[in-house]
Structure 1
């Protein structure tokens, strides 16, 4: 057994970035080596990337979260190394943009080393992709990560045996603790220094497949085709009937393509199934052999993580846990946010009361408005957004979020979606824009459109600011929670209607669920800051400038005519003050403008001008009304003008109908 994996061996050397390399100016400009990290989703690849580079890239636990590769730099033993974190994928097919991006980068950019990160506890499944990387004939290292979790399951990996079977270096790591990364980088430098790849260890398939691969490879070599990919890899792809590779080869030699097609037909006749399926089976057979040969099992104990997994995915208790997770996330945000908001409000009131100024010099009005914007941002945005993002990060990184998505699969099918759609919908509670972009993880345009439609009703951070800033602060937490319940009901009803209207069939759920793990506080903190800082950079300037401008416009009388024109809807139907019409229009630009305008016009003591029922109805209508301009823009880009217009109209009509009905229903209780 290899000394890296022997439980009696010394503890692996932990990787630490030096203080020197933390300083950007000390990193040499010249890149000595380029390393690409490749592998399946949820194997810890992004953790390896962050540990090596100190990058602030967000780490998530769902597949396909990043199409564009992430880049970082590392100073190791006086060498400047560029590290590329490729998207998490399972094959080099052409079914997704992530797979195309990864294979084209590896083939054409030619990194000095490709590090294939695999999960030690599910080695056979991960080696399916490793075999495809071997076929690419690249300088390859296999990083067997999460060996600690594998040991908890009674699995020990002999890296020496695995290295001998694959014909490439193999290093074991626990990336989240930095263990093994030093040896990994030493091996990477050594491999990169060899410059050329001589594959003397070609992985062979069964005779009927291997013979045909060799014939096509010989055809490609004899015709001297310039394809950019290794000949053997192209031959295998032609047998798999890969459309992109077939077009690439056909542009130079139709004869090779025709011969490959005929050979693929022969394989299909022998096995009575599609040739790509036959080759996939061959790869899995090899992966099974390699994993079985390198994997040693000790006495298996049922771990706490496995017991927890059974509870969370139980057909009865799983739904209770899912409800507790989602409800707990929101309740945590409300309780902690309300406490922090109170502390900050008292602190600012001690220094200077915040009251609007609608008379006097223009300079004094602008300054007063700007200060009110600062107070609104500090007391009504940060206290609620930071706790939400922190808890969401911990839930993501623990692995529980994918279990919740799995349990919600049957319920999501009621609106034509599967459980995987819950991930972008929960992301929508942070921001609708990246949530709609992340619907690309869904398989069909219909599913993406239905999910995007539902997401436009999800109370994002900006809407949450309005709900909490108006209802939780001035009414009570329970009415704020009630608004979230109403929102979920609206999303379900409208999703069900859209499911009936939009043609197509719902698909089944296939989702990777990685092992439960204790989330890293430091990783969650980095992720929280990465998400929060973009909000701060946008919200605070908008609040400061916008509050000053709105207060000036109100003082000069520009807003009153618009408000009066909309009074039949806002006053008669919704029971709101006259100014609410202008407030809702500004809120369509950015949702925070609803709160911002009220503070700019009336000050932070809004209870003096609005009744409890008006707080609730204004927050409800703002939550369901038109999504912000940024959301409409991404909808237009993803789905076109017709779908975007339909979704926008549905939002407006829903907000007005639900708001008017809620006003009449809630009035006796508030």
Structure 2
């Protein structure tokens, strides 16, 4: 039987705290506050509201993989805010869980704010109990109270505070409600250093075994930076990382913990980690039941929509419509904006270096031509894409698409959650590959990264839209995206055969659908667009000028002649295409940049419709840019990065050559 604190009267646990921990105020000083909790509970929203930073807020699991830090001042007090990754436990199954528990244990923030989703209180309390086991200064923030009320839940935060024995503050962070009180409570806890010594007490055999092991660890003088009670629980759960740390200090502790765990397993006839988890769930359920009531259940609009969005049949159509809608929106609106901007910049025409002189040619064709190319060929397409992508992320649609695509992703050894970094790869491969950290195993991360390198990032999208959508047709551009999905599937199947193994099941938070705020969409779009603009425009201007210099000096001709058997003979492209492919390895935009430097913005003077399509297809598939190769080496090593790059290159030339010969009979 689990010993539970009462929700109505002051618990024995609270009485122990008041007697054991004197509230001694300390002088004002810098305070570090860590935000911890499950994914999608609103930690990043709170972080942004408090710090005013530009942290991206996304509505899908595992968004915060790395630590995000910000500062702000409140009543003369400087506060450091750390937004920890969204996790569900303190196990070592993922990098996020390790990062969070190591930070709390070893960096020792003055207070931890545990953010809960009020609409799923019982499930979130499972993690709260683990924080309490660690004995950290704690404030519980019950966020998304508006959604809880919509679902008919009435949460008595006073009863919840009595049950937990730590301050509890209700908030609606997206509207800023309750955040001032939350900060005040956090400062108060930090200044009094009110730490719970015995935060969670289980019942029966479990509590007896935990106390026996804790006492043994105390006698051994064990100090891992965690409380010995927490270490005892993790040993009983057979946590591999804690086992390793304890074994290096005391083998006797490992032997004794194994003996006690086996004793528990004989009594309960189940694994010891499952026994501990059951104790936590029982306690979380009892606390939640005592602190909340629910009116007669009425399905929310989000739940009604989910009957269609994740329906076994209709869900596939809605997911396909979301992805197709993202592409069509980008093509149609981008093409419309591009025509307007191109008309406005129609005064720009390249000049002949022989007539105007090399300096004028470099400055006009190169530097100013690079700027015109950026304005007319990048901005019109990138901004619409990022606007709608931000909406899909923050509304919760992306999570539904990932869920429905799980069966498809399983065929290439992944699960639906891998679709998240794959779709992010349509923006940029570098952060997409970095975001594969949300996947559980190195094998899954490597398979996902391999698929991402075939996804057309914004730079490749620029090439597709600028070459095909503008000079051939939108539908041929869309056809390239469809072909790319087929290629990703085929290459994924081949990679799966080369790296056989069993894919893990899909476990992810299905957050309620919501209309994201316009400010969030615009801020996220600007954060993504500005980094591209700040990088691409200087590169376009400087790179275009450099290419003009090489052109004037006559260096580019021999390179083109050397690659002619491949570019002209097999790919049926003009002879100068070899130069385009070489410079494109640095950044894919250089393909377009160099082409504009050669012939101006009216590219139809140099290429036929078939050549536009083939060049875009090659640019979409061939070797990743240097920044992508760099992160592949960092994450997976030189060998894996080389194999992935070679696969991209070979695929591009095989598919490009076949397409060139087939299309020559069609167009």
Query: How would you bin the TM-score normalised by the shorter chain?
Result: over 0.9
- Aligned counterpart, 1:8: none
Q: Does residue 546 of the first structure (1) align with residue 563 of the second (2)?
A: no
What CA distance in whole angstroms lies between the structure 2 residues aligned with 1:47 and 1:590? 34
- Aligned counterpart, 1:358: 353
What's the CA shift string for 1:137-186, capped at 9, x where partnerless?
Answer: 11111111111111111112111111111111111111111111111112
What's the CA shift string for 1:533-578, capped at 9, x where partnerless?
Answer: 2211211111000000101111221011111111122112212111
Displacement of 1:37 after TM fit? Answer: 0.3
Q: Secondary structure at the match of 2:136?
A: coil
1:171-320 matches, within 5 Å, as: 171-199=169-197, 202-320=199-317
Q: Does residue 568 of the first structure (1) align with residue 582 of the second (2)?
A: no
Q: Does residue 530 of the first structure (1) align with residue 527 of the second (2)?
A: yes
- Aligned counterpart, 2:131: 133
Within the candidate set 141, 154, 157, 2:155 is matched to 157
Displacement of 1:46 after TM fit? Answer: 0.6
Q: Hey, which bits of structure 1, 4+ residues long, moved more than 4 A? A: none
- Aligned counterpart, 2:646: 649
Displacement of 1:261 after TM fit? Answer: 2.0
What CA distance in whole angstroms lies between the structure 2 residues aligned with 1:639 and 1:269? 42
Q: Secondary structure at the match of 2:455?
A: coil
Q: Does residue 37 of the first structure (1) align with residue 35 of the second (2)?
A: yes
Contact 1:37 1:116 in 2 (8 A): yes
Q: Secondary structure at the match of 2:456?
A: coil
What CA distance in whole angstroms lies between the structure 1 residues aligned with 2:416 and 2:351? 47
Within the candidate set 495, 498, 505, 2:502 is matched to 505
Q: Say if 1:516 and 1:573 are closer, same or farther in 2 by CA, change over 3 A.
A: same
Q: Comparing 61-70 with 35-44, which one deviates more in the overlay?
A: 61-70
Displacement of 1:615 after TM fit? Answer: 0.9
Matched residue count: 638
- Aligned counterpart, 1:89: 87
Displacement of 1:664 after TM fit? Answer: 2.2
Displacement of 1:221 after TM fit? Answer: 2.6
1:87-126 matches, within 5 Å, as: 87-126=85-124
Contact 1:38 1:86 in 2 (8 A): yes
Within the candidate set 598, 611, 625, 1:601 is matched to 598
Within the candidate set 575, 579, 582, 1:578 is matched to 575
What's the CA shift string for 1:445-503, capped at 9, x where partnerless?
Answer: 22222221111110000000001111111111111111111111111122122222322
How big is the alpha-carbon RMSD for the aligned residues of Structure 1 and Structure 2?
1.6
- Aligned counterpart, 2:19: none
What CA distance in whole angstroms lies between the structure 2 residues aligned with 1:329 and 1:81? 40
Q: Does residue 417 of the first structure (1) align with residue 414 of the second (2)?
A: yes
Q: Comparing 471-480 with 644-653, which one deviates more in the overlay?
A: 644-653
What CA distance in whole angstroms lies between the structure 2 residues aligned with 1:49 and 1:378? 34
Within the candidate set 628, 632, 638, 2:629 is matched to 632
Please report the TM-score for the alignment, with normalisation by the length of structure 1. 0.93
Contact 2:94 2:438 in 1 (8 A): no
Within the candidate set 373, 377, 383, 1:376 is matched to 373
Q: Does residue 457 of the first structure (1) align with residue 460 of the second (2)?
A: no
Displacement of 1:86 after TM fit? Answer: 0.6
What's the CA shift string for 1:416-472, capped at 9, x where partnerless?
Answer: 221111111101100111111222222222222222111111000000000111111
What's the CA shift string for 1:120-148, capped at 9, x where partnerless?
Answer: 11111111100000111111111111111
- Aligned counterpart, 2:332: 335
Q: Secondary structure at the match of 2:116?
A: strand
What CA distance in whole angstroms lies between the structure 2 residues aligned with 1:613 and 1:41? 47
What CA distance in whole angstroms lies between the structure 2 residues aligned with 1:203 and 1:636? 44
Q: Secondary structure at the match of 1:570?
A: helix
What CA distance in whole angstroms lies between the structure 1 residues aligned with 2:292 and 2:150? 14
Contact 1:31 1:82 in 2 (8 A): no
What CA distance in whole angstroms lies between the structure 2 residues aligned with 1:192 and 1:639? 41
Contact 2:378 2:462 in 1 (8 A): yes
Contact 2:93 2:440 in 1 (8 A): no
What's the CA shift string for 1:614-636, capped at 9, x where partnerless?
Answer: 11111111111111111112222
Contact 1:358 1:554 in 2 (8 A): no
